Amino acid sequence: MSFKKILVTGAAGLLGQHAVRQLQEQYDVSGFDLKAGTAAIDWHLGDLADADSLKEAVAGQDAIVQIAAIPNIWSGTGAQTMQVNVVGLYNLLNAAEEAGVKRVVICSSDSVVGFTVAEGAMVPPQYLPIDLDHPLNATDPYALSKVLGEEMGRSFAARGKLEVLVMRPVFVAYPEMHDEIRARALAPENYKGPSVGGPSSAGGGPCWHHIDPRDLARAFQLGLEMEYRGFDRFFLSANVTLSPEPTLERLANWLGYVPEIRDPAVYDDTPHAPLYDLRHARDVLGFEAAYDARKTAIF
């Protein structure tokens, strides 16, 4: 399917800026955010609670890359997170459907699995690698908001007017985060970030998953380019974690055991492979990560 006009929500934020740069050479891109960013695109100002500003922003668009959200558990209360990430997403999908938008690419999170945020009540994986059939065990408001958002996307897609693709990225390793990533790697037992000026602590859950924002922006573009009708989800990660130990050793140290390994070759071939099964993203979306912060941020 060929699209021309693309709206990026949250376009002035860190991830939104990368998405706009990736897309604007090929598409007629406009941005929706609380304030205008620096990109030379058309800007629509407003928030996801404002029906009028949403209606104006989605009018005439072929597709939407939905990034605008409360981005983590530290950026708002539970009630605020639900209001923006759930009610706000409903408002956007409803406006998009009414405007005749053909596809929405939603930025979700690997947090839906429930084994990402150490400050929350994490639920260990039942088996590895974690695929799309694995149960979702969200235990914090942010993760729950993403589970509900994914189901909302499925519901709209089932109505037959919108195509919805859900991206589940792991911790995004922005260049602004590299000093934090290095600091954690140098002193993992003592690291308490943000400690060296990064916008947040180095993240990625117990295994220190990561994805480069350029890779994630390219995945959004692939979500616009792929031939598809309906609904789908994709785990997105670099091909290796940033953990000092190989993945299975890391889990054994963290949990005291290793979950069932359904495909041992994944970790035999790549000892630092992520917990998530990336083959669906490779085979259906055509995505493989090109960047690895083990090389650019740590070593």
Q: What angle do CA 218, 223, 225 make, to 5 degrees?
A: 95
Which structural domains are found in the chain, ordered by start?
Answer: 5-298 (3.40.50.720)
Counting Cα atoms < 13 Å in the Cβ hemisphere of 103 gives 24
Nearest Cα neighbor of 239 from 288, 185, 281, 204 is 288
The per-residue pLDDT for range 216-261, each reduced to its tens digit, is 999 999 999 999 889 999 999 999 999 999 999 999 999 999 999 9
In sequence order, which residues have a C-beta less than 8 Å from that of residue 3 and are 6 or more positions away?
Answer: 27, 62, 63, 102, 103, 224
pLDDT for position 295: 81
Which tens digit of pLDDT belongs to each residue from 163-189?
A: 999 999 999 999 999 999 999 999 998
As a whole number of angstroms, the distance between CA 168 and CA 108 comes to: 5
- Alpha-helical regions (H) of the chain: 14-23, 51-58, 78-82, 88-99, 141-158, 178-186, 213-225, 247-255, 264-269, 279-280, 293
- CA gyration radius, the chain: 19
- pLDDT for the residue 1: 58
pLDDT in tens, 123-167: 999 999 999 999 999 999 999 999 999 999 999 999 999 999 999
The answer, yes or no, to whether residue 95 has pLDDT greater than 90, is: yes
Burial class, 229, CB count within 10 angstroms (exposed 0-12 / middle 13-18 / buried 19+)? exposed
Confidence (pLDDT) at 200: 85
pLDDT of residue 6: 98
Q: What confidence score (pLDDT) does residue 195 get?
A: 86
Looking at residue 166, the DSSP 8-state letter turns out to be E
Closest by CA position to 153, among listed 142, 162, 141: 162
Full-prediction pTM beyond 0.85? yes
Write down the pLDDT at residue 212.
97
pLDDT tens digits for 254-283?
Answer: 999 999 999 999 999 999 999 999 999 999
User: CA 39, CA 36: separation in Å to the nearest integer?
Assistant: 8
Helices and strands counted in the chain (H then E):
11, 9
> Residue 109 — pLDDT band, cuts 50, 70, 90?
very high
Where does residue 273 fall: left (phi above 0), alpha (psi -120 to 50 degrees), or beta otherwise? beta
120, pLDDT greater than 80? no
Query: What single-letter DSSP state applies at residue 205?
Result: T
pLDDT tier at 19, thresholds 50, 70, 90:
very high
Lowest average pLDDT, out of 116-120, 207-211, 213-217, 220-224, goes to: 116-120
